[in-house]
Structure 1
């Protein structure tokens, strides 16, 4: 196998694995607070205590994955682009009038 084919196969496998991960679990841990929901602070003694709630996840501890967000945007764009326009009355929907 040439280097190009090996790289293409690896890229395809990685893409399919990430796609299946986004389909199975669309939400992942917040990367800023590492899934705690708040920033950890230390007091003067060195003990950990909770600080402010995380601004990214707003304390929910989970955020939507980038791949799932892109999938949602693409599906919304497709749905909006292919939606039929509703007819306001019956006479407007007839093709021969």
Structure 2
């Protein structure tokens, strides 16, 4: 009894990428898009006040200004905070 020889199918023959490679490419694409979004628009809406800068009473009047964003309605994105930290760290190490 002879066993069939194990042959690897080339990538072009199957026409698809292995799932782990596809997942890596999608993650790299997402990361590149998020980095571009952080560079183009470093601020996002404040999550507590939903970008309004204030909390409202049930009748619609201002109860108080949002303490988290100081009434601006904006917050610095996580990716931009990471970029700023790494830039400060790099500049501190040079001088």
TM-score, normalised relative to structure 1: 0.77
Give me the CA root mean square deviation: 0.9
Q: Show the counterpart of 1:72.
A: 84
Show the 5 A alignment for 1:1-97: 1-42=17-58, 47-83=59-95
Runs of 4+ aligned residues of structure 1 deviating over 3 Å after TM superposition are none
- The CA distance in 2 between the partners of 1:39 and 1:77, in whole Å, is 36
- The CA distance in 1 between the partners of 2:75 and 2:89, in whole Å, is 22
Deviations 1:13-54 (A, max 9, x none): 110000000000111111111110011220xxxx32222111
Q: Show the counterpart of 1:89.
A: none
Q: Secondary structure at the match of 1:52?
A: strand
TM-score, normalised relative to structure 2: 0.78
